[in-house]
Structure 1
Amino acid sequence: GDELVIRLPSFSLASNFSLVRVVPNTPFISSDASWNFNNPGLTLTVTSEIEAETPIQIWISSTSGVRLPVSGVEKNQKNIIISTNAVSGPVVGYPITACPAVYQQGSFSIADLKFDSIGSICGSVFGGFEPPGYNSSKVLDSIVCQEGFLGKGRAKSVTRIYFRFQAAMRLYPTDEISLYLVGFTGGYGRSQFEVKSSPNGTIHNASWDRQQQVLTMTVAVFVEEFTTID
């Protein structure tokens, strides 16, 4: 008969019925929870004795209709609390210990872009015969040129792009990050290619839309918030 109450401020329920189906990892908690519309939250009922320090997990399906707040959720939001009227030790308003942030709108704390263009690198030619022998330090009239990366960007040239960013929110597989490169050219229509990233494998697929001038990168793995990606 003990009850566990989880207060979820600004959360809502899509249904007009207060019954919410839950899936606990123990048969000693009822799968029928009740929703409080006046003070948003769930009430769970214990059906049999549970030993102290027993890990409990409650899974609530999206089909239950519980909706996140319009304004999102802060990381480890302190007003999400749990209480119980347990006879062996009641608890009033204990803040949750861990909760991911869910932002209404994300942001980037770092977003750096660098270019490394291809160009011709020319230099003097040294060498020649002078008495009494070969002089490797003599500068000749001719020059030699070869293509290579310049270490910086140059207009109208093919370039490597380095993008370094840090998102203020978690990133999940299939999330997309788009760079709007206005005035850039190259490629035909829409092209796809692989990219290198650090931590390794964070992003390995990208696409370029020449008409829209958008470079889109697809996140491949879960990325914790404020992780720097190169």
Structure 2
Amino acid sequence: MDNLTLGRHISGQFNAELESIRNQVMVMGGLVEEQLNSAIEVLSSQDMDVANKIIDTDKSVNSMEVAIDESCTRIIAKRQPAASDLRLVMAIIKTITDLERIGDVADRIARTVIENRNKKSPPLVSMENMGRHTVKMLHDVLDAFARMDVDAAFKVYQEDVKVDREYESIIRELMTYMMEDPRSIPQVLNVLWCARALERVGDRCQNISEYIIYFVKGKDIRHINHDEVRDLLSK
């Protein structure tokens, strides 16, 4: 990233502003990653203290999104960035939105665990596995963002297909569980919501991958298939 945008502006203050925002995004990303990881753990541990901590952490994540967004707005108004600088600021604005939404997923999972404590729930092994997969995706895409690494971003981009398959498998398991025990339907619906939310985390990690590619390559890869993206990146 440094070679692409930082260290080449006449204004040293502009460089400092860009570096500061990048660092803030990484801090926010680390907090969201910790939040999501804890949410996956609390699915099995049913630890109410951890669940409440996740909910409290979401307030910090929300505050960080607002602060970074305001910093980006000031840069646009003051510096009037163009070309790669503008792409960087836009990528940051979009990235923090997706990070905040991932934090919301962790928050909702924690609240679901609290609301359904001491109630019988379907086995959660498959969902925990998918959750671990999404945590790994988030970790890897944040690492790719820190380095603005297109190859690493594309690997994360491709992982979303696997998460979608895991989600479909979980849906089939939950349908079977409901048919075998109709009394479990209310609890199954709660688990189903959590599974859907985790599947969306995979989508949001894929979004962040797209922003990285957009910044580095100047190409918008939304709404095109994987083969076309691969061909585009190989040029």
Common fold: TM-score over 0.5:
no
Q: Larger C-alpha radius of gyration, 1 or 2?
A: 1
Give the shorter-chain TM-score range: under 0.3
**Higher-strand-fraction structure:** 1
Q: Which has the higher helix share?
A: 2
Q: Which has the higher contact order (CA 8 A, sep 6+)?
A: 2
Q: State the TM-score, normalizing by the size of structure 2.
A: 0.22
